Amino acid sequence: MGDYPSYPACVSLDSRVRRSLATWPQRPPGMPRTLKQPGTWLRARPDNWAKACQPFLKLPGSRHLRTLPDGLWLHFSADPADPYADILCIEACSTMNNLLDKRSRFAPSIGCMQVYCPQSWLLAPTLPETTLPRWRLLPMFKSEPVGPVVLPVRDIRVLYGLKQEHYEGFAESQMPAAHEFFCPMDALMQPDGDKDPQMQALMARTSAAANFLSLPEPAGLDQPMPRPSARSPASAPRRRASSPPSMRYIDSLYG
């Protein structure tokens, strides 16, 4: 899988995975844009320039117990009248006990998981070199949020990264749940892992559309993308628009 960056011996595998995931795009690699998920994807964790205010997962009524995935991508509803979030989590599991613990947190239940989005995270720019706040990228918001936003989670998909020997043993003898996906941890740590065709194909299978034989495409989705302007994506969002940016505009920025 190529040469890996060198890390001090004290750096844990979890930390190495998070450092690698921090370079992945705002939209999960290989994730198609379909009728089932027409809203906006944003990477919530890890966020190197917003360490103190990253979103987290919780159960209704719980103020102390939080789930902090190593990687967390949020798909936000495009309908202000029906707010929700779909979540794609990536968890690095160094031991089998760690895997069992993390699987239990995402096990199906009659309760609804929630995602807590701090106000400071929503008001902060998506990229450090831009000024356009995150909430402006989300059609779900009609105005600037005045506090933290807690959304019900509509759909959960989890990708577990395992040590090679654990991965081989699990793949040989265990059956995953419908929302679970697995890969060797090395695949998450390799340079430019998000560009690996196998990883992109795996992530595409986590799409809500992957459960259907076929889906009609939203109107206009098959139209060619506009030619990018001479300005860099970093400088493009500096203009304040009167309406939320279009999905084509978001796609042109974050891939």
Tally DSSP H helices, then E strands, for the chain: 7, 7
Peptide bond into 83 cis (omega under 30): no
Mean pLDDT calculated for residue range 60-77: 92
Q: With 80 as the cut, is the pLDDT of residue 129 above it?
A: no
Indicate the range of 16-25, 41-50, 70-79, 241-250 predicted with least confidence.
Answer: 241-250
- Read out DSSP for 113-176? -EEEE-HHHHHSBSSTT---BGGGG-TT-SS--SS-EEEEEEEEEEEEEE-HHHHHHHHHH---
- Which helix (H) or strand (E) covers residue 180, if one does? strand 180-184
Please name the amino acid found at residue 17: V
Tokens read off for 189: 């740590």
